[in-house]
Chains A and B, each alone.
Chain A
Amino acid sequence: MTVEIALTVIRALFPVLMALSSLAIIPLIRFWRGRQHDDGATYATFGVQLLLLTTSAGAVLAGAGYISTLRIGQVTIDPSEPGRLLVVLGGIVFAVIVGAGEGRRASTMGQIALFGLAAIDLALAIPSGIAPIALLLFASLAISGAAASGKDDIGRARAVFRDLRTVSLLLPAVVIAEILRTAISYAATDATYATPASLAAGTALAVSLVVIVAAGIFPFHNRLIRIFEALPIVGSLLVGVWIPSALALIVMSELSTLASSITDPLGGAIVPGILLAGSATLIFGAVSALLHDDIGEIVGFIAVGNAGWLALASAAALQSPTDTSSRLIVLPGILTISLFGLWLVSVRRRYGTTSISELGGWVWRTSANGIVLAAAIIALAALPPGAVLAARLNLLILDGNPLVAVFAIAGQLLLTAAAVRLLLVGFTPASQAVHEAETRPLINLITIPLIAGALFTAAAAAGWLALESGGTGPLPPAPIVSPATSFAPAPSAEPSVSNSPAVSPEVSPSGSGEISPAP
């Protein structure tokens, strides 16, 4: 193996290599410090934070114009812009969250984050067939299983059980989508088949189902709430927000290609259905966040509200395949919910309670957490107005339904109100739990990264930093319809299948951004 090939492997697989190396490094640190100084857990946490930050830095390098394409046999691993962007920001976000979470299992959570980011990066780097979706779905299941382990909590186990069922149901949906998509070309050449528009509608429905279920869009919102209730915050964020968002990027690209490949309007009321689900999710999430008392549940409902935007974005990808606004709102949403997660873990750690009624006056006692929540609120509202707010408004215009736009705007305002309510509770007179809690000075090793990380994340989420994520590009066409390779050969398929029988305008990925796509 030449040095060039070795470097290419390292660049293409960097997050995966870092995640794998953590399996050796973290136990070694624990062993080294645990035997002599009894502070193995603390040093392991530092170690995993360092690995997360290194992953982030490595992703910047590998995504910034280096040739990272790796070919292993027929498999091409080509780090994509959104994949590397998610790793860059994810490394920083999770390093801060792991630091704020502290505790005995912090390093394990950091390792889970490393593997989650590696799975996202790899999936977005190999956009071929069902592999990326399968990889993300199974990674989601593995992460929820790992995050729930170590504690005999029946609630956690049931959350994982629900995830197992969800994942097992979604893969057949993807395969059905693949089969229907292949049939579109037949419909274009043979009148006895169903119409291309109806087949495209079936494909869109099956593919959208992946995002709708995985992201917790109404009526599947319950899954997301249970995840946020039961799993540790790193697991909740990865399984409930980061992986579904990566899936959404793939699905939106697929929907854009699908919509641009047919000339007739899409049948089956798919677009109105997704729009309805999206606006209902936004309103439901916002109202529920306002009505609940548990901060874990409130953050879960804010995540549900964010999932509503993913549904609206999917509908927009079907309505206007060439517009990339739909994919621009994914990353800010991820970062905003992650900020709320950071605040949640920090407050829960400090005060040991999650009830709003017991958190009166928390801002006075822990002003750093106040800064984190304020940053999260700014990110949620995408203020001051910039690229993110413009992309959201553009989405509503593309969706073309005034009622949906009104519901979405109302939902977003209510979500912001729910978040402001959390902040206002912090200014009320201090409760017993808050009064008795042990706090640390503002300037220390955990608080400074907490504030700096929160401000950086908020800046990225609100669109102050020029960060863009433009989707993975369409999934390549399904393999040509050929007889099964095993056993008796079936009759050969007549038409040579190309999956874009009609018009196939380029779905223009965003190109500009701090991190340019790998050539």
Chain B
Amino acid sequence: MPSLELPLVLVAILAGTLAVTSASRGAWVAIALLAATSSALEFSLSDPNHTGLVLRISAIGIGLIAALPDGLLEPEALRRDLALRTIFNTLREHPVVVASAAAGLLLGLVPLALPIESSSGALRAAGVALLVVGLPPLLTSRFIEATTRAAVVTLAGTLLLRTSIFGSLDPFTALAVAAGFACILVVGGSVASRISKAEEQ
């Protein structure tokens, strides 16, 4: 399992970066990927009790199903938007976000003072990188879908940072947080559709 940690961390950071930079389709797929990887990092896969992991993934899955805009899963468009060239271009068009993610990753790897120095380096790096990537759009974006995705990225980062220091969440907190993820996605999706409907009228 330890060999999987670094790839998962890198995928989570890449997915988080894409979630706040891509256009709609790529961003939602990135959110799904981020949810899967950050949950796998947060709740150990080798742990025999997978309740927290299952809860988190199902909650985010339900939230995503409710929040996804119509026509998002057209295979042809998906293939086009998820092509490597498109992803590369997206990252190239947002150098500040990419630089923030890299800076967050490096900052997280430095064993700072406080209890942080005894924490898991890779999880801490992923947490800090996701926080650095997610917080700016969460604070400033005027678009509801983008803010919803930024909220998920920020929360995932916060929880990874917490896990790196305190370990996995207890079952009740895991349940509350899983419900929270679903709630953010469902409420964000419903608000976005309501506002766009009102603006169309």
Q: Given that A193-B113, A486-B46 are known contacts, is A164 also in contact with B188, CB under 8 Å in the complex?
A: yes
Q: Given that A135-B176, A138-B183, A165-B147 are known contacts, is A487 also in contact with B1, CB under 8 Å in the complex?
A: yes
The reply to whether B187 and A157 contact each other, CB–CB distance below 8 Å, is no
The reply to whether A485 and B44 contact each other, CB–CB distance below 8 Å, is yes
Instruction: Identify which of A126, A165, A478 contacts B138 (C-beta below 8 A).
Output: A165
Q: How far is the CA of A154 from the CA of B144 in the complex (A)?
A: 13
CB contacts under 8 Å to A, within B71-120, are 113-116, 118-120
The reply to whether B43 and A179 contact each other, CB–CB distance below 8 Å, is no
Interface presence of A169 (CB below 8 A): yes
A residues less than 8 Å from B138 (CB atoms): 165, 168-169
Instruction: Identify which of B123, B164, B184 contacts A168 (C-beta below 8 A).
Output: B184
Interface presence of A484 (CB below 8 A): yes
Q: Given that A145-B187, A149-B190, A487-B122 are known contacts, is A74 also in contact with B166, CB under 8 Å in the complex?
A: no
**B134 and chain A: residue at smallest CB distance:** A168
Q: How far is the CA of A491 from the CA of B111 in the complex (A)?
A: 12
Binary contact readout A161-191 vs B (1 if CB under 8 angstroms, 0 otherwise): 1001101110110010011101100100000
The reply to whether B172 and A75 contact each other, CB–CB distance below 8 Å, is yes
Instruction: Identify which of A135, A160, A193 contacts B114 (C-beta below 8 A).
Output: A193
A: contact size bracket? 35 or more
The reply to whether B187 and A490 contact each other, CB–CB distance below 8 Å, is no
Interface presence of A493 (CB below 8 A): yes
Interface presence of A438 (CB below 8 A): no
B: contact size bracket? 35 or more
B residues less than 8 Å from A148 (CB atoms): 191
Q: Which of A129, A193, A486, A491 is the most central at the interface, judged by chain B CB atoms within 10 Å of its CB? A: A486
10 extra interchain contacts, Cβ-Cβ under 8 A, other than A165-B139, A479-B167, A485-B167?
A129-B173, A141-B184, A144-B187, A152-B201, A157-B195, A161-B195, A175-B161, A482-B167, A484-B164, A485-B168
Can you sample 28 A-B contacts with CB below 8 Å?
Answer: A74-B170, A75-B170, A130-B162, A131-B172, A131-B173, A148-B191, A154-B194, A160-B191, A161-B191, A168-B150, A172-B135, A172-B155, A172-B158, A175-B159, A183-B114, A192-B113, A193-B114, A481-B118, A484-B123, A486-B45, A487-B4, A487-B44, A488-B5, A488-B122, A490-B119, A490-B121, A494-B118, A497-B115
Q: How far is the CB of A36 from chain B (nearest CB, A)?
A: 33
Interface presence of B31 (CB below 8 A): no
The reply to whether A157 and B198 contact each other, CB–CB distance below 8 Å, is yes
Q: How far is the CA of A175 from the CA of B121 in the complex (A)?
A: 18
Interface presence of A433 (CB below 8 A): no
The reply to whether B155 and A483 contact each other, CB–CB distance below 8 Å, is no
B residues less than 8 Å from A402 (CB atoms): none
CB contacts under 8 Å to A, within B136-187, are 138-139, 144, 147-148, 150-151, 154-155, 158-159, 161-168, 170-173, 176-177, 179-180, 183-184, 186-187
**A132 and chain B: residue at smallest CB distance:** B176
Interface presence of A444 (CB below 8 A): no
Interface presence of B70 (CB below 8 A): no
Q: Given that A131-B173, A138-B176, A164-B148 are known contacts, is A145 also in contact with B167, CB under 8 Å in the complex?
A: no
Interface presence of A492 (CB below 8 A): yes
The reply to whether B179 and A486 contact each other, CB–CB distance below 8 Å, is no
**A137 and chain B: residue at smallest CB distance:** B180
**A153 and chain B: residue at smallest CB distance:** B198
Q: How far is the CB of B37 from chain A (nearest CB, A)?
A: 12
**Closest CB pairs A-B (n = 7):** A486-B44, A168-B151, A484-B120, A145-B187, A138-B180, A131-B173, A183-B114
The reply to whether B1 and A486 contact each other, CB–CB distance below 8 Å, is yes
The reply to whether B42 and A165 contact each other, CB–CB distance below 8 Å, is no
The reply to whether B115 and A157 contact each other, CB–CB distance below 8 Å, is no
Interface residues of B (CB under 8 A from A): 1-2, 4-5, 41-47, 113-116, 118-123, 131, 135, 138-139, 144, 147-148, 150-151, 154-155, 158-159, 161-168, 170-173, 176-177, 179-180, 183-184, 186-188, 190-191, 194-195, 197-199, 201
A residues less than 8 Å from B131 (CB atoms): 172
Interface residues of A (CB under 8 A from B): 72-75, 126, 128-131, 134-135, 137-138, 141-142, 144-145, 148-149, 152-154, 157-158, 160-161, 164-165, 167-169, 171-172, 175, 178-180, 182-183, 186, 192-194, 478-479, 481-488, 490-494, 497
The reply to whether A179 and B155 contact each other, CB–CB distance below 8 Å, is no
A residues less than 8 Å from B188 (CB atoms): 161, 164
Q: How far is the CB of A228 from chain B (nearest CB, A)?
A: 18
The reply to whether B44 and A157 contact each other, CB–CB distance below 8 Å, is no
A residues less than 8 Å from B187 (CB atoms): 141-142, 144-145, 160, 164
A residues less than 8 Å from B114 (CB atoms): 179-180, 182-183, 186, 193-194
Instruction: Identify which of A72, A73, A478, A491 contacts B118 (C-beta below 8 A).
Output: A491
**B120 and chain A: residue at smallest CB distance:** A484
A residues less than 8 Å from B120 (CB atoms): 483-484, 486-488, 490
The reply to whether A158 and B195 contact each other, CB–CB distance below 8 Å, is yes
**A479 and chain B: residue at smallest CB distance:** B166
Q: How far is the CA of A494 from the CA of B115 in the complex (A)?
A: 10
Q: Given that A74-B170, A182-B165 are known contacts, is A487 also in contact with B5, CB under 8 Å in the complex?
A: yes
